[in-house]
C-alpha cells in the first residue's frame, strides 16, 4: 500500500495493527471509497498519516472512546485537505514563498473541502467542522474564520496539531524534513498561540514519547 510510505515518521507504528483494528479498517475503507468515487484517486500519504496520528491523539486525549468518535476522526483525517483538489496544483507545489494572492487561494481549501464533503451522506456537522476549521489557531489568528480557543471545534483542534506535525517531519519543496525532536520543539513553542496547550502536552508526552499503544476498541 503506497500510503504506508512515511509511516516510519510516526511513533510506535511498527505494528500497524495496533492502530488499524478491523473496526478502524472498515471506517477507512468506507471513507476511501467515497473519496475515490469523487476524485478518482485514493487519499495520499499525508492524509493517511494525519488520520492515524489524529486517532492516536484523540485516543490519548479521551476523545476516541466510542466507534462513533473513532469514525469521525477517520473521516475528518482522510478528508481534511480534500478542498486542495480544486486548487491550482502549481501553487500547491510551488517551491518558493507564496505571494499574498497565492496564499489567499490556498486559504480557500477548508471551505471548498467543506462543500465537497457536504455531499457525502456519511458526513455530519462534526466532520464538516473538522474540515472547515483545521487551520484555525488557538489565539484566533488562523483561517478561515479566526475562531479562538474552545470555540474551535475539538476535531479541528486535534487535526491542527497532527497536520502541522506531519508537515514538519515531511520533506517539502522548500526545506528538508525536520526530526521528530525538532518538530516537537516547534509544537511546544507554539502551544497557546497556534495550538491548544493541553493537546500539545498529550501529543508530546503520550503520543510521541509514550509506550506502545493499546488497540482502539475491540481488535
Ligand atoms: Fe489543510
Ligand atoms: Fe493537511
Give the CATH number for residue 26: 1.10.3210.10
Is the pTM here over 0.85, yes or no? yes
Residue 218 lies in a domain: no
Q: What tens digit of pLDDT does each residue of 102-152 get?
A: 999 999 999 999 999 999 999 999 999 999 999 999 999 999 999 999 999
Higher pLDDT pick, 78 / 17: 78
Which ligand is closest in space to the CA of residue 134? Answer: 1
Angle at Cα 76 formed by Cα 6 and Cα 36, nearest 5°? 75
Whole-number percent of the chain with pLDDT over 90: 76
Q: Which residue has the cell 495520499?
A: 44
Domain limits at 177? 2-208
Give me ligand 2 centre to Cα 49, in Å. Answer: 10
Torsion of CA 119, 216, 65, 218, to 10 degrees: 100
Give me ligand 1 centre to Cα 135, in Å. Answer: 6
Residue 128 lies in a domain: yes
Angle at Cα 171 formed by Cα 182 and Cα 201, nearest 5°? 35
Residues pairing with 191 in the sheet: 195
Residue 183 lies in a domain: yes
User: What's the mean pLDDT in 78-102?
Assistant: 92
Amino acid at each position: 500500500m503506497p500510503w504506508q510510505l512515511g509511516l516510519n515518521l510516526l511513533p510506535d507504528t511498527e505494528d500497524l495493527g495496533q492502530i488499524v483494528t478491523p473496526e478502524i479498517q472498515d471506517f477507512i475503507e468506507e471513507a476511501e471509497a467515497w473519496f475515490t468515487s469523487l476524485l478518482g484517486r485514493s487519499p495520499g500519504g499525508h492524509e493517511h498519516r494525519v488520520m492515524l496520528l489524529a486517532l492516536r491523539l484523540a485516543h490519548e486525549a479521551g476523545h476516541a472512546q466510542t466507534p462513533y468518535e473513532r469514525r469521525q476522526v477517520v473521516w475528518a483525517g482522510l478528508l481534511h485537505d480534500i478542498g486542495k483538489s480544486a486548487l491550482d496544483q502549481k501553487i500547491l507545489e510551488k517551491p518558493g514563498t507564496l505571494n499574498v494572492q497565492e496564499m489567499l487561494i490556498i486559504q480557500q481549501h477548508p471551505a471548498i473541502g467543506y462543500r465537497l464533503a457536504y455531499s457525502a451522506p456519511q458526513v455530519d456537522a462534526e466532520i464538516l467542522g473538522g474540515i472547515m476549521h483545521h487551520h484555525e489557531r488557538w489565539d484566533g489568528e488562523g483561517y478561515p474564520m479566526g475562531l479562538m480557543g474552545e470555540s474551535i471545534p475539538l476535531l479541528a483542534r486535534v487535526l491542527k496539531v497532527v497536520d502541522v506535525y506531519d508537515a514538519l517531519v515531511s520533506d517539502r519543496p522548500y526545506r528538508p524534513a525536520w526530526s521528530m525532536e525538532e518538530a516537537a520543539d516547534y509544537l511546544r513553542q507554539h502551544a497557546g498561540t497556534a495550538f491548544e496547550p493541553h493537546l500539545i502536552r498529550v501529543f508530546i508526552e503520550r503520543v510521541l514519547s509514550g509506550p506502545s499503544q493499546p488497540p482502539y476498541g475491540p481488535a
